[in-house]
């Protein structure tokens, strides 16, 4: 019987996997510069590695995340430009977080030209709890406004300045919600596009030093 995967086990297995992968020479990665292809390779390899010993609910296009049973999405990114995209659900994600946690593998890729293999040196493995997945500058700004006795108008004006993709009615509703339920500071940088662009430099820098951002390896 395979064990049921837990968040705790996921972290431990991610650390072990990163340790193994760092030393592994992979012929199919030789010469590959497309970050998406590397990401797909590593995600598939990690989920197959988990499936050897654990049972878990697999992601699909409907759930939109890799491990829906645990509420975790796996992200793989290069140290050169640590970012990835994720589906845009609502503008409130910038304030209250994505609604799920992130397991982030950050790699640096090397090619061995003599043996024609590629290697992923796993620089960081970080777990970002869902409560810490909002946009840093947006949440920090809102917390500062609230600490300075900011009111509904101040918050609405700030949301407009931050260029959140909201119409006026939605912006007012969100401002009222923020006043009643102040957000926690998030540590991602989230840029507006057709999808959200998530940038990870801050989580790499802050991992292990702030609540909700854990350095696994």
* pLDDT tens digits for range 153-191: 999 999 989 988 888 899 999 999 999 999 999 999 999
Return the percentage of the chain with pLDDT > 70, whole number.
99
Query: Quick one: which of 104, 122, 94, 56 has its CA closest to 190?
Result: 94
Contact predicate 100/93, CB 8 Å:
no
Q: What is the pLDDT of residue 59?
A: 85
- The β-bridge partners of 149 are none
Domain residue ranges in the chain: 3-135+186-215, 136-180
Q: What is the pLDDT of residue 48?
A: 94
Position 211 pLDDT exceeds 70: yes
Q: What is the pLDDT of residue 168?
A: 86
Q: What is the pLDDT of residue 4?
A: 94
Return the percentage of the chain with pLDDT > 90, whole number.
84
The residue that leads in pLDDT, 196 or 132, is 132
Position 128 pLDDT exceeds 70: yes
Between CA 43 and CA 63 the distance in angstroms is 16
Contact predicate 178/95, CB 8 Å:
yes
Position 132 pLDDT exceeds 90: yes
Position 194 pLDDT exceeds 80: no
DSSP label at 162? T
Helix/strand/coil for 144: helix
Q: What is the pLDDT of residue 63?
A: 73
* pLDDT tens digits for range 42-99: 999 999 999 999 999 988 767 789 999 999 999 999 999 999 988 888 999 999 999 9
């Amino acid at each position: 019987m395979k064990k049921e995967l837990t968040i705790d086990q996921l972290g431990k297995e991610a650390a072990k996997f990163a340790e193994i992968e760092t030393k592994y020479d992979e012929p199919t990665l030789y010469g590959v510069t497309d970050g998406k292809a590397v990401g797909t390779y590593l995600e598939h390899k990690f989920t197959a590695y988990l499936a050897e010993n654990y049972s878990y609910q697999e992601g699909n296009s409907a759930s939109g995340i890799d491990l829906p049973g645990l509420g975790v999405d796996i992200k793989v990114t290069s140290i050169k430009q640590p970012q990835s995209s994720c589906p845009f659900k609502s503008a409130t994600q910038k304030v209250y977080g994505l609604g799920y946690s992130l397991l982030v593998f950050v790699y640096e890729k090397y090619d061995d030209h003599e043996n024609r293999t590629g290697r992923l040196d796993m620089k960081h493995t970080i777990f970002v709890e869902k409560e810490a997945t909002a946009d840093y500058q947006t949440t920090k700004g809102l917390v500062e406004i609230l600490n300075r006795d900011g009111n509904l108008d101040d918050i609405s004006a700030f949301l407009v300045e931050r260029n959140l993709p909201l119409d006026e009615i939605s912006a007012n509703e969100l401002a009222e919600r923020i006043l009643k339920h102040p957000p926690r500071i998030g540590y991602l940088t989230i840029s507006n596009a057709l999808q959200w662009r998530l940038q990870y430099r801050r989580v790499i820098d802050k991992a292990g030093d702030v609540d909700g951002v854990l350095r696994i390896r």
